Amino acid sequence: MDPSLLPFFRPTGVAVVGASHEAGKLGHGVAFNLVHSGYAGAIHFVNPRGGTLLDRPVQRSLAATPDPVDLAVLIIPAAAVPDALRECGDRGIRAAVILSGGFGETGAEGAALEAKVAGLAQTLGIRLIGPNCVGLIDTHLPIDTTFLPPPGPTAGDVAFISHSGAICAAVTDWASGLGFGLSHLVSLGNQADVTESDVLEPVASDPHTRVLTLYLEGVTDGRRFVEMAARAGRRRPVIALKVGRSTAGRRAVTSHTGALAGEEAAYNAAFRRAGVLRAETSEEMFNWARALAWCPLPRGRAFAVLTNAGGPGVIAADALDSCGLTLAALAEPTRRALGAILPPFASVTNPVDMLASATPHQYAECLRVLLADDAVDGVLVIVPPPPRDPAELVAEALIPVISGAAKPVVVALMGEHAVREAAERLRAARIPDYRFPEQAASALGALVERSGLLQRSPVAPPVFAEVRPEAVRRLLAAYRREFGSVIVQEPAARVLEAYGVHTAPMAMAKTAGQAARIAARFGFPVALKIASPDIPHKSEVGGVRLNVATRSALASDFGDLLRHVRGARPAARIDGVCVQPMLPAAQELIVGAVRDPQFGPLVMAGSGGVEVEGLRDVAFALAPLARDEAEAMLEATWAGRRLRGYRNLPPADRAAVIDVILRIGRLAADIEEIQEIEINPLSVFPAGEGALAVDVRVRAA
């Protein structure tokens, strides 16, 4: 842990500046929570009025506060915070939690005050959490520096780190209602200093924390977040709920890659690199957290479903499939053992339907049999309100079997009032329960994902010895000086060649005569393509002619192409017409990279051609990439899976595509001047015959 953060997580003494004698004020709530949390360190209250509060003396200033004190909690008007920080500096306090609002969240004036406070704290060597936050809770130390209404969260093993203070109160109550406790609650507020990346490691290193959950509205430093989240994730599962999904116009883009690489794509790529599980809803985040905190991880993704009714079993089977999981094929000895326990009309295939007459004993014994099957990686047990035995008796019978199992078991208690007592008993035994099979299946999916993340090799991008970054920088600088920031076709192809990406033959023509001489050198038929930095999508303006087979056709098509383009885009700068030989039939992909303002370069691969933005069959990853990440990108898209062959399409050179993806990632990571680079299409020939970049576009800063 960063030593400067230690007072936030292990303070020897806490001073509440602004502690109030009035029960209805937040300053009183902070004082009350701190005292009643059971915190064993020194507690000091500071208020110019003096007196006593909660049977403790109130100091009139920080200067008068006795030792020990290494953390100040400020709950005072925003305008008074700078003076309070100076007092902290004089007193030797090097950590402060600013609960007060009235800063950047209120507008320009508040933002200016916040900047002043941050600068002052840096000068004084004081670390800050907040302002405009709820505070910190550690249920095991224990300590509570918040003004949340009592009672606070029960002690548990799920940590919650939040950008929103408002959601913290709801989460503490919700956790109690769902039967799990929190180890830490960290409200970060405006993050004038300490950020989400800073607190990940201290919270993950706490032995009482088994799962970290994050409510994120953004991240302060994307690359550092990935590094710190990956480090925390090697110790504990990390689940993030990232809110604010707008992709509206964050940057000027000139390519399909730039248009598709919105904020969501960047966060998804960052979470994958860091090993963070991304939840879609707050409910899903905590459903996963309970399973990850309480269940062993599965070895695979094949699960059994145990139920006493057919309909819920079908729901569960569908839900498992939608989560990328499978129904285990039960071994013959398993089916025989189930048949010996159940009545003749019960189904002993998977899902196992014990019928409505199933007893608690049958539930327990069938579960024991399923867990013993090597083909079963875990079990989803469904307990609707039984027609005969109360649900809590079923739960009591299941608990010893589940508690002793080396495989995960989750329980779908379908209902509400009739299963309430059963839920309480399962939660007391640290067994996750859900109201619907879909929720239970989703939790199993999170366990499988976490298991896969732990088996993943560290990211190790390949080293390409023959790349020439300085040559690329010189080319970009020279081109920008003369022509501008957008580079197309032949000079853009030279950028790729410097990184070992092979391009289709091409040459630029200013006149029909030049085009004819180039075509004669390449051999007919040829393709003619407008070369313009202002026209990213050539086909939309009639800027492409294919299969030009003769000199006379070339002369006609050359003039016709220019007329169409000039008519459609009269203001566009036209550098000429690119001439290329027609290539053999091939599969076409798009491969590109774009520099995200938060996370740096992102690589994209997927279905290319003119419909790329409509199809959105693309995947993103942070650059530079490891080989297994490039493989995963292809597996995530239909275009990538199709490279193995489909119907009349023979297998294409998948290895060549992976090589291009890796080289584009290395190029984007090495050359900071590159804002966007795109190959569309990348023509991929049959296995062993390579791939060629046909159209290339680069935008440089």
- Of 305, 439, 434, nearest to 367 (Cα)? 305
Distance CA 316, CA 364 (A): 19
- 520 and 440 in a common domain: no
Q: Which two tokens stand for residue 440?
A: 């239970």
Which parts of 404-538 fold into alpha helices (H)?
420-428, 437-455, 469-482, 489-497, 512-522
Contact (Cβ atoms closer than 8 angstroms) between residue 696 and residue 493:
yes
Distance CA 126, CA 113 (A): 17
End-to-end, the C-alpha distance of the chain in Å comes to: 38
Query: Edge to edge, what strands does the sheet with 52-53 contain?
Result: 52-53, 56-59, 42-46, 13-17, 71-74, 95-98, 127-129
Residue ranges with strand state E in 114-181? 127-129, 136-138, 143-144, 155-162
Is the pLDDT at 253 greater than 50? The verdict is: no
Domain assignment present for residue 478? The answer is no
Domain assignment present for residue 492? The answer is no
Which of 567, 582, 597 is the C-terminal boundary of a domain?
Answer: 582
Q: Any idea what the CATH number is for the domain that residue 186 is in?
A: 3.40.50.720
Cβ neighbourhood burial of 244 (10 Å; 0-12, 13-18, 19+):
exposed
Domain assignment present for residue 526? The answer is yes
- 448 and 525 in a common domain: no
- Of 466, 445, 456, 446, nearest to 629 (Cα)? 456
| Model pLDDT, residue 357 | 92
| Model pLDDT, residue 255 | 58
Using the structure block, give the residue that is written with the tokens 């950047």.
Answer: 104
Note the Cα 411 to chain centre separation in Å.
Answer: 27
On the question of a cis peptide bond just before residue 237, with omega within 30 degrees of 0, the verdict is no
- 439 and 352 in a common domain: yes
pLDDT in tens, 644-689: 998 888 999 999 999 999 999 999 999 999 999 999 999 999 999 9
Is the pLDDT at 23 greater than 80? The verdict is: yes
Contact (Cβ atoms closer than 8 angstroms) between residue 253 and residue 594:
yes
| Model pLDDT, residue 259 | 60
| DSSP β-ladder status, 576-581 and 42-46 | unpaired
Q: Which two tokens stand for residue 339?
A: 């048949």
pLDDT in tens, 26-36: 999 999 999 99
**What average pLDDT does range 327-353 have in this prediction?**
97
- 186 and 57 in a common domain: yes
Distance CA 346, CA 364 (A): 16
pLDDT in tens, 291-334: 999 999 999 999 999 999 999 999 999 999 999 999 999 999 99
pLDDT in tens, 527-575: 999 999 999 888 889 999 999 999 999 999 999 999 999 999 999 999 9
Domain residue limits at 559: 505-582
Domain assignment present for residue 269? The answer is no
Domain assignment present for residue 176? The answer is yes
Which of 420, 455, 490 is the C-terminal boundary of a domain?
Answer: 455
Is the pLDDT at 252 greater than 50? The verdict is: no
**What average pLDDT does range 453-470 have in this prediction?**
91
**What average pLDDT does range 418-437 have in this prediction?**
96
Number of alpha carbons in the 13 Å side-chain half-sphere of residue 677: 32
Average pLDDT value for the chain: 94
Q: Any idea what the CATH number is for the domain that residue 617 is in?
A: 3.30.470.20
Distance CA 501, CA 588 (A): 16
- 188 and 165 in a common domain: yes
- 593 and 553 in a common domain: no
Domain assignment present for residue 258? The answer is no
Domain assignment present for residue 483? The answer is no
Domain assignment present for residue 252? The answer is no
| Model pLDDT, residue 174 | 84
Which parts of 18-107 fold into alpha helices (H)?
26-36, 81-91
| Residue % of the chain over a pLDDT of 70 | 97
Contact (Cβ atoms closer than 8 angstroms) between residue 527 and residue 544:
yes
Using the structure block, give the residue that is written with the tokens 């996750």.
Answer: 432
| Model pLDDT, residue 173 | 85
Tell me the angle at which helices 391-403 and 360-372 cross, rounded to the nearest 10 degrees. 30
Is the pLDDT at 247 greater than 60? The verdict is: no
Q: Any idea what the CATH number is for the domain that residue 578 is in?
A: 3.30.1490.20
For the chain, the C-alpha Rg in angstroms (whole number) is 31
Which of 229, 244, 259 is the C-terminal boundary of a domain?
Answer: 244
- 535 and 426 in a common domain: no
- 529 and 394 in a common domain: no
- 368 and 228 in a common domain: no
- 524 and 448 in a common domain: no
Contact (Cβ atoms closer than 8 angstroms) between residue 440 and residue 316:
yes
pLDDT in tens, 54-78: 999 999 999 999 999 999 999 999 9
pTM of the model: 0.91
Paired strand residues for 411:
381, 433
**What average pLDDT does range 265-276 have in this prediction?**
95
Q: Which two tokens stand for residue 240?
A: 């993030």
Using the structure block, give the residue that is written with the tokens 């499988």.
Answer: 448
Is the pLDDT at 514 greater than 70? The verdict is: yes
Distance CA 42, CA 25 (A): 22
Is the pLDDT at 613 greater than 80? The verdict is: no
- 47 and 82 in a common domain: yes
Residue 54 gets the label, from left (phi > 0), alpha (psi -120 to 50) or beta, of: left
- 601 and 558 in a common domain: no
Q: How many domains is the chain partitioned into structurally? A: 4
